[in-house]
Structure 1
Amino acid sequence: MENRLQPPGRRILRVATGTALCLAISFALDLSIPVVAPVFAAFLLATQNRPLSFKAGVAFALVVALTTGSGLLLVPLLRHYAFAGVMITSLMLYLAFRYGLRGGNNLVATFLVAGLTMISAAGTADFQLAVTVVGALVKGLLLAVLVSALTHRLFPEPKSARPQPAARVIPNEQASRIALRAALVVMPAYLLAMADPAGYMPIIMKSVSLGRQSCTTTARSAARDLIGSTLLGGLLAIAFWFALRLFVHLWMFFLWMLLFGLLVGRRLHGISPTHYSPGFWLNSLVTMIILLGQSVQDSVAGKDVYTAFAVRMGLFLAVTVYACLMLLIFEQRGGVR
């Protein structure tokens, strides 16, 4: 294995195996929001070529504490002073995105954005629901980190491999513009979710993914990267759903996820070269996981899976088109290109 498997092959196996394990374990343990762990695992394994260090682990623990605490503290403010609460949430989203753009850990920034929006939106409807979301985020992150460590042990990076380059630090003014744009991408889905947190939680997760992707996408390629990856994610989810129906079992869920992860991973890490960026393929994978996970939960709950999928896909496309418009507006007004 050490001599035959090249670094890109190891990375593909880590992404596919780690995502599939997180998905299977989440549904096996019946976690309240089972798509959280595989989504974070996909982000973690696709962007990090080395396992988390002790320092990074401590940083994640602090982020969990900061996110959950901040999200819960915002709940009373949003209930009694809604406008002020929304403005403070917007500011915190802007600061979280700006932190990632100024050389901070992008995964930490993503978790901050997801936690702030999901917890505070859930708390406006029911404080107990917010506590449930806190538990789901903490369990999902811990599971993603543990599975990431396991997959790095199974498919370690060769000692001769080059270290991962440091995150590019964007100039202060440009980082501020991009962070503002990303925060504006997330806010409509957040406001929509405040009306029905349980129903629109997947929309928040999708908007967080779009906000993250908008930080690296130009207005010129916005339609191709954002809308294209959303449509591809939907098509992959449909194909996955009908494949899973052939034999419904948890092990088949794992194996199909492993197969789809390998197919997307080949393009994500450049073994099958395409004209699309790695962010395009990562967003497609994340979109597929969110849509598929929700469809499985709808099926268990006895809901009309196809109607729910159509509505959810329509909302995903709506927030994606809005994200593209934000990129175009910022470019026309002299924003980031």
Structure 2
Amino acid sequence: MPTERDPRIQRSLRLATGTALCLATSFGLALPIPFLAPVLCLLLLASVNRPLPFKAGLALALAAMLTTGIGLLLIPILKYYPLSGVLLIGLSLFLVLRFGLRGGNSLIATFLVIGLTMISSAGVAAFDLAAMVIGALVQGLLLAVSMVAISHWLFPESPDAPASPSPPALPAEVVDRVALRAALIVIPAFLLALIDPANYLPIILKAVSLGQQSATTDARNAGRELLGSTLLAGLLAILFWCALSLFVHLWMFFLWMLLFGLVLARKLYRVGPTRFTASFWLNTFITLIILLGQSVQDSAAGKDVYTAFAVRMGLFILVTLYACLMMHLLEQRPRKAQGLT
């Protein structure tokens, strides 16, 4: 093998292969909430260019179980004091997101957000549902760590490869405003999940992804970044479903995901020309997996896949438009205050 190779090519192959393998394995094993594992695998591969040691993987799974378990403690408050519970979760979301923006561990912050929103809203409907979501998250995380190790074995990182550039740190004076904006983006999806957790839990994942993406996007590009990635993911999901309908099989599911993943990974790592940021392509990939995973589950349950997809896509677009609105509103206030001063 040649010694001089663009590390971005290896990373693109690793990300697409690991995500496709995790997707096929998760659905093949019939894990609860099977699209969680490939989403977690995608986030791990996109954020870390080294395989996680076995002990680190177990520690991460334990941390996920403990952090998401916080949502179980909030269930009685939401049941008997709903207004106080929603306000408490909103404040907690702001503090957790601010912790992540100030340099805290992004995965721990994500697990805390999931615990505060997904677990607590599922527990209001049924405690067993909340416990099932925690179990699905831990199982999906363990599977994701295993697939990360396999993908690194298939496409190892070169020892002399430069590290991926870290995102620029936010100025200290805007961290609170960005954290507040991200919390306001997640809260409406959480309120929807309180109404019907079984159908609206994926909306929370989409809102969390939008909240994280809004931290690296300014108000001028909000529509193109947030709404554009959501619409592109919907279009890719339709093309994927039409291609998969030609021959429905688990291996074809893997191969089509590998093909679509390679296209998106090349854009994410800028192997091919693109005008959009890495967060745009990452959010597109995450939304594509969520839409496809829900459609496959709807098909297995005998539901009308096309109607369910249209409703889910409409909700995703509404959540994205609301995120764009929050970005514009909270972006204009400092400028007006500065002009008055």
TM-score, normalising length: structure 2? 0.94
Tell me if the contact between 1:24 and 1:250 (Cα under 8 Å) persists in the aligned partners.
yes
More displaced 10-residue stretch of structure 1: 233-242 or 44-53: 44-53
AA matched with 1:23: L
List aligned pairs for 1:46-57, cutoff 5 A. Answer: 46-52=46-52, 57=57
- Relative to structure 1, is the Cα distance of residues 95 and 273 closer, same or farther in structure 2, using a 3 angstrom cutoff? same
Q: Is the counterpart of residue 77 in structure 1 residue 65 in structure 2? A: no
CA distance in 1, matches of 2:241, 2:164: 35
Task: Give 1:97 shift.
Answer: 1.3
CA distance in 2, matches of 1:312, 1:86: 24
* Residues 185-218 of structure 1: per-residue CA shift (max 9 Å, x gap): 0000000010000011111111111111111111
Task: Give 1:2 shift.
Answer: 5.3
List aligned pairs for 1:1-337, cutoff 5 A. Answer: 1=1, 3=3, 5-52=5-52, 57=57, 60-165=60-165, 168-334=168-334
Tell me if the contact between 1:236 and 1:288 (Cα under 8 Å) persists in the aligned partners.
yes
More displaced 10-residue stretch of structure 1: 322-331 or 4-13: 4-13
CA distance in 2, matches of 1:327, 1:160: 40
Q: For residue 334 of structure 2, give the secondary structure of its aligned residue in structure 1.
A: coil
Tell me if the contact between 2:36 and 2:140 (Cα under 8 Å) persists in the aligned partners.
yes
Name the Cα RMSD after superposition: 1.8
CA distance in 2, matches of 1:210, 1:301: 29
Tell me if the contact between 2:68 and 2:114 (Cα under 8 Å) persists in the aligned partners.
no
Tell me if the contact between 1:101 and 1:175 (Cα under 8 Å) persists in the aligned partners.
yes
Gaps of 5+ in 1: none
Tell me if the contact between 1:110 and 1:212 (Cα under 8 Å) persists in the aligned partners.
no
AA matched with 1:246: L
AA matched with 1:100: G
Task: Give 1:164 shift.
Answer: 4.0
AA matched with 1:226: L
Length, aligned pairs only: 336
Task: Give 1:163 shift.
Answer: 3.1
Tell me if the contact between 1:97 and 1:179 (Cα under 8 Å) persists in the aligned partners.
yes
TM-score, normalising length: structure 1? 0.95
* Residues 195-243 of structure 1: per-residue CA shift (max 9 Å, x gap): 0000111111111111111111110100000000000000010000010
Tell me if the contact between 1:63 and 1:112 (Cα under 8 Å) persists in the aligned partners.
no
% identity of equivalent residues:
63
Gaps of 5+ in 2: 336-341
Tell me if the contact between 1:90 and 1:183 (Cα under 8 Å) persists in the aligned partners.
yes
More displaced 10-residue stretch of structure 1: 81-90 or 251-260: 81-90
Tell me if the contact between 2:206 and 2:287 (Cα under 8 Å) persists in the aligned partners.
yes
AA matched with 1:243: A
